[in-house]
Chain A
């Protein structure tokens, strides 16, 4: 089955830029979605289809996807961005399509 690899943790100072990666075999050929999950809360979609933002998500959140790596970029990081972030793709390569999540990355704002 398809595997998505994320770093367990990323740390960044307020006002700086955080980059969270999601690795997968030829992930550039797939649509990647990103979710933010704060403690005790349900996940929230922050980027879909590699680089689109749902309404209400700040422009500080952006995404890119090429080759074997997709990246969620958070510009001008704020304390409120501290959360777990998950990437997701739909894997149609097996005999039964399914959705796959990465293991998650904990973003710490220093």
Chain B
């Protein structure tokens, strides 16, 4: 069964850091781009960051650029998001999502999603 399981969320004070993880199973992890997408309470979806299968291409939303860092460990079938200098507006449910197209970074849809991990930034 193809599965993505996020972890690492929690309550954190403004200005602090948090590292999210996403464990993948059921598919050849190192053949696909991976992404983080977040959803603030009661709001819509916002793409946060994406990384190609070989980490050669990486992108960030303007709202997180310079504060968040995406990475992956293909040997561990895992995706990460290091979040620094957290702000109240970063409060959201963070989803890990798989790119649909084999060995491709741009344009493709996200065909598998995890259930998300909640991040709350508050003092």
Tell me the A residues contacting B by CB distance below 8 Å.
1, 31, 33, 35, 37, 42-45, 48-49, 54, 84, 86, 88, 90, 92, 96-104
A99 touches B116 (CB 8 A): no
Q: How far is the CA of A83 from the CA of B95 in the complex (A)?
A: 18
Q: Which residues of A have CB within 8 Å of B62?
A: 1, 98
Given contacts A44-B113, A45-B110, contact A98 B61 (CB under 8 A): yes
Among A1, A48, A104, contact of B109 (Cβ-Cβ < 8 Å): A48
Tell me the B residues contacting A by CB distance below 8 Å.
35, 37, 44-47, 50, 59-62, 95, 100, 106-111, 113-116
Q: Which residues of B have CB within 8 Å of A101?
A: 37, 44-47
A71 to chain B, nearest CB (A): 17
A43 touches B59 (CB 8 A): no
A42 touches B47 (CB 8 A): no
B44 touches A99 (CB 8 A): no
B45 touches A35 (CB 8 A): yes
Q: Which residues of B have CB within 8 Å of A98?
A: 47, 59-62
Nearest CB in chain B to that of A34: its residue: B109
Q: How far is the CA of A30 from the CA of B44 in the complex (A)?
A: 21
B59 touches A97 (CB 8 A): yes
Given contacts A90-B107, A96-B59, contact A42 B115 (CB under 8 A): yes
Q: How far is the CA of A54 from the CA of B2 in the complex (A)?
A: 14
Nearest CB in chain B to that of A86: its residue: B45
Q: Identify 26 residue pairs between A and B in the complex whose beta-carbon atoms are under 8 Å apart, listed by A's number.
A: A1-B62, A31-B107, A33-B109, A42-B95, A42-B113, A42-B116, A43-B110, A43-B113, A48-B100, A48-B108, A48-B111, A54-B111, A86-B44, A88-B45, A88-B109, A88-B110, A90-B108, A92-B107, A96-B59, A97-B59, A98-B47, A98-B59, A98-B62, A99-B47, A101-B46, A104-B44
Q: Which residues of A have CB within 8 Å of B47?
A: 88, 98-101
Q: Which residues of B have CB within 8 Å of A96?
A: 59-60
Q: Which residues of A have CB within 8 Å of B113?
A: 42-44
